[in-house]
Structure 1
Amino acid sequence: MAENTSTAETVRVTVAEDRKSTPKGGGEDQNTATMGATAIKMQKLVAFPLMIISFLLSLPILFSVIWLLYMRHYDCENLLQLPKLQVGIVAGLVVVFFVSNIAVFLRSRLPMPALILVMVPLIVMLTVGLALVGAYKMESRSIPGSPMWLKSKVLNDESWNNIKSCIYDTRTCDDLIARSYMLKSYDFTTTKLSPIESGCCRPAANCDMVYVNATFWRKGNGVQVDSSTPYNVDCDLWTNDQTILCYNCHACKQGFLITIRGKWWKLGVFLVIMAIFLIASHLLLFIVTMWEHYGG
């Protein structure tokens, strides 16, 4: 009997220990499951804002497409075939807008193909933007719209003959005369002129010429206003003939170049900034997606 009693007590102790140990193991599994659920929740909380940010970053691209489509071309810009480049950039931006949002939609199902799909047009967009701001120096001579390309076109004599005829046909200098007809010499010198008006419609400031009106100046005594300033060859090119004025002057070419280059430089800066932000956004979204799939 004693042996049976001892055996029964041993069984009861073993069962009791098993019951105590079972809840303990279940608690560890429950804690692990809770931590996993929390991690997944955190991942989703990070991924959703990134998806929203990627979408919001694509909206300025859409707005820039509308702006480029309805923006008036600068006078004589068509002579350099820049409107065709503008249409090409518009088409590329439309592709970037749709591809960016498609990649966001596909990111959970096909993360790697989605990343590759969006990175190709974004890298092209970044490359074009860098070219337009002049990041490639000598290489950009062959890239339409880049500063070096614009300079080579404007300074080319054959191209400039067409451009200066176009500037004359726009009656820019005639409009300046009408706008400043009643101004005296001092008032005219303080008037803010556009780069083309300043370079093409009037002589250089150091030519020592006497103001009559906006496009008619009498030559002075031939003494430079500032003797420390090198003689300006544009002074010899200036004439009061309304069909010539300073259209052959270097200042006129620079004025036209500044006007055209400003537009394309700003567009290049926009493309670079948007490409960098979108690349960063999609890379972060890809990392979070990989974390969701394999990190938990």
Structure 2
Amino acid sequence: MRNSNHLIGVLNFLTFLLSIPILGGGIWLSTRANNTDCLKFLQWPLIVIGICILVVSLTGFAGACYRNTVLMWLYLFAMFFIIAALLGFIIFAYVVTDKGSGRKVPSRTYSEYYLNDYSGWLRDRVMDDSYWSKISSCIRDSKACRKMARTVGGAPEPAETFYRRNLNPLESGCCKPPTECGYVYNNETYWTYGVGTTSNPDCSKWNNNQEGLCYSCDSCKAGVLASLKKSWRKVSVINIVVLVILVITYVIGCAAFRNNRRIDNDEPYSETRMTKEQPSRLHL
């Protein structure tokens, strides 16, 4: 157990190094936040996460290396809440991304997305006009739809080739009209009116203007939800691994904390405190 101080010091030094690029990324985003609305959602979480990891890591590192009981107590106290918060986020992420997935379309490789397939807190958040205006602005600024363009012999690729493409949720939901609307393919982001159903409100929302497209469509919102679900599930898997590492570090930290208290009380490692403070009075 005497090696626990050294081990907790090494672990916290590694997490301290990890906090530097996270904090630097948040600061970099803050300098570019005026370019697009969506970047404003990213800067503060990264900065807060980076600062928390940095401060807690330094506290644990100093407490373990200098055998400071107060610093180790603060470190364990903060680490407990970080573990609890991370566990809560993992549960929350799985709950809010439980429902919804893409639907397969006949003679198409890509899936299409419908807002009615999703429900709950995340759907309500995306549907909120104030949030959606910023999210749609982010999609436009990313030029995701323009990046879909492909040419064959200097002309747009044939419709049959496009239908076999494996589009991601944003490309499928925001950059083209729903298949049931019956629009005729000209290129990836330019479709002319054809024969199809009009029961889907997205059919009337499609606009060939490159700043319009289907950014106001429910299918675009559903595509965002599908992307968020995929991303959050990946992040949750990573968070589970991080949670396991934090729990192991916390257990080692508890051992280091007990070591520090034993040393502060001048207790021999192999001798219990009760034996030292209350020696036997019976002498035969």
TM-score computed with the length of structure 1 as normaliser? 0.61
Structure 2: state its 5+ residue gaps.
97-119, 263-267, 274-284
Give, in angstroms, the shift of residue 83 of structure 1. 0.9
Alpha-carbon distance in 2 for matches of 1:234, 1:101: 56
Any residues of structure 2 matched to 1:217-256 within 5 Å, and which? Answer: 217-222=191-196, 233-256=201-224
Over the residues paired in the alignment, what is the CA RMSD in angstroms? 3.8
State the match for 1:190 in structure 2.
164
Give, in angstroms, the shift of residue 86 of structure 1. 1.6
Query: What's the secondary structure of 2:209's corresponding residue?
Result: coil
CA contact (8 A) 2:9 2:62 kept: no
Deviation larger for 286-295 or 120-129 = 286-295
Give, in angstroms, the shift of residue 164 of structure 1. 1.8
Residue type of the partner of 1:55? Answer: G
CA contact (8 A) 2:38 2:134 kept: no
| Aligned partner of 1:61 among 15, 21, 44 | 15
Give, in angstroms, the shift of residue 215 of structure 1. 0.8
Whether 2:272 is the aligned partner of 1:295: answer yes
Give, in angstroms, the shift of residue 95 of structure 1. 0.6
Residue type of the partner of 1:185? Answer: A
Query: What's the secondary structure of 1:191's corresponding residue?
Result: coil
Residue type of the partner of 2:2? Answer: A
Aligned-residue sequence identity (percent) comes to 23
Residue type of the partner of 2:165? Answer: T
Greater C-alpha radius of gyration: 1
State the match for 2:149 in structure 1.
177
State the match for 1:157 in structure 2.
129
| CA separation of 1:54 and 1:207: change in aligned 2, threshold 3 A | farther
Whether 2:139 is the aligned partner of 1:167: answer yes
State the match for 1:212 in structure 2.
186
TM-score computed with the length of structure 2 as normaliser? 0.63
Alpha-carbon distance in 1 for matches of 2:62, 2:245: 17
Structure 1: state its 5+ residue gaps.
1-45, 139-147, 225-230
Residues 83-122 of structure 1, C-alpha deviations (whole Å, 9 max, x = no match): 1222111111111110111221244x63xx3542211221
Give, in angstroms, the shift of residue 254 of structure 1. 3.8
Alpha-carbon distance in 2 for matches of 1:60, 1:195: 36
CA contact (8 A) 2:183 2:192 kept: yes
State the match for 1:199 in structure 2.
173
Alpha-carbon distance in 2 for matches of 1:128, 1:67: 22
| CA separation of 1:292 and 1:233: change in aligned 2, threshold 3 A | farther
Q: Which has the higher contact order (CA 8 A, sep 6+)?
A: 1
CA contact (8 A) 1:132 1:265 kept: no
Give, in angstroms, the shift of residue 178 of structure 1. 5.6
CA contact (8 A) 1:199 1:252 kept: yes
Alpha-carbon distance in 2 for matches of 1:52, 1:179: 60
Give, in angstroms, the shift of residue 202 of structure 1. 1.6
Whether 2:76 is the aligned partner of 1:119: answer yes
